[in-house]
Structure 1
Amino acid sequence: MTDDIDQLLISALMEDSRRSLKALAQISGLSAPSVAERLRKLEERGVLKGYTVVVDPKAFGYQLQAIVRIRPLPGQLQEVERQIQAIPEFTECDKVTGDDCFIARMCVRSMEQLDTLLDRINVCAETSTAIVKKTPVKRRLPPMA
């Protein structure tokens, strides 16, 4: 379990994972060594799995994001999963229940690139693609309490 201070530290790190121990200490009202110890314990328990940086794919020419629903053809499940993993433009993929086995997010530079990449998958799966217009809710944690 996490307490209110742990949750405060986690929220502060979610806002900016580069916050210093000193800044986290000021936010939490603890000393920097106490913050360091709490973070170490959260890491050991697997609550904190890493610290990251957010990069805008547009800075590298990826103008479009797409959500792709993927339904492998019979006997092609492992091959489809292997292909998804091998195409670096797929930035996220969940294996799900329901009619489609995979729901993936990908970044592409153009519609032509999207078609080319999906053609690789379409030999062993059916796909349904939606272009992302806007992301009103970015990836976030559910309520901690």
Structure 2
Amino acid sequence: MIDEIDQLLISALMSDSRRSLKALAQVSGLSSPSVAERLRRLEERGVIKGYTVDVEPKSFGYLLQAIVRIRPLPGQLQEVERQIQAIPQFTECDKVTGDDCFIARLHVHDMEQLDTLLDRLNHHAETNTAIVKKTPIKRRLPPMT
């Protein structure tokens, strides 16, 4: 069960995963050892899966981001999944219901690289690509209530 203090700790970590135990103790009104114990229990239960760094892909020259809907050709589902996993520019991928089996996020340097990477899938799948202009909502948690 997630109580209000756990929710406070999780929200604080979502806004800055580098917060110290002392800072988390101030936010929650607990002692640092109590915060450490709560975090340990949240990790053990799988509520907190890890702590991360948010890196800007443009810093590495990835100027374009695309959302790619991928529909494998008959009998090619597993091969398409292997291909997606083998292309490191695919930074996220969901297997979904509906006409398309995969919806993936792809970061590329330019349109030429986009074409080259998608050409690797063309023998196994149909793709439909949309270039991301802006991300008004970054990945976030749904409400914890």
Q: Please say if 1:26 is aligned against 2:26.
A: yes
TM-score, normalised to structure 2, is 1.00
Cα distance per residue 1:95-142 (max 9 Å; x no partner): 000000000000000000000000000111000000000001100000
Superposed displacement of residue 55, structure 1: 0.3
SS at match of 1:121: coil
Runs of 4+ off more than 6 Å = none
SS at match of 1:52: coil
> 1: CA distance between counterparts of 2:77 and 2:29?
51
Whichever residue aligns with residue 52 of structure 1, its letter is T
- Find the counterpart in structure 1 of residue 72 from structure 2: 72
> 2: CA distance between counterparts of 1:137 and 1:31?
34
- Find the counterpart in structure 2 of residue 90 from structure 1: 90
> 2: CA distance between counterparts of 1:119 and 1:11?
41
Q: Please say if 1:45 is aligned against 2:48.
A: no
- Find the counterpart in structure 1 of residue 144 from structure 2: 144
Question: Which 5+ residue runs of structure 2 have no aligned equivalent?
Answer: none
Q: Please say if 1:134 is aligned against 2:134.
A: yes
> 2: CA distance between counterparts of 1:53 and 1:89?
18
- Find the counterpart in structure 2 of residue 104 from structure 1: 104
> 1: CA distance between counterparts of 2:137 and 2:55?
17
Cα distance per residue 1:51-89 (max 9 Å; x no partner): 000000000000000000000000000000000000000
> 2: CA distance between counterparts of 1:122 and 1:23?
51
> 1: CA distance between counterparts of 2:42 and 2:124?
42
Superposed displacement of residue 36, structure 1: 0.1
Whichever residue aligns with residue 86 of structure 2, its letter is A
Percent identical among aligned pairs is 85
Q: How many residues align?
A: 145
Whichever residue aligns with residue 112 of structure 2, its letter is E
Question: Which 5+ residue runs of structure 1 have no aligned equivalent?
Answer: none
> 2: CA distance between counterparts of 1:106 and 1:18?
27
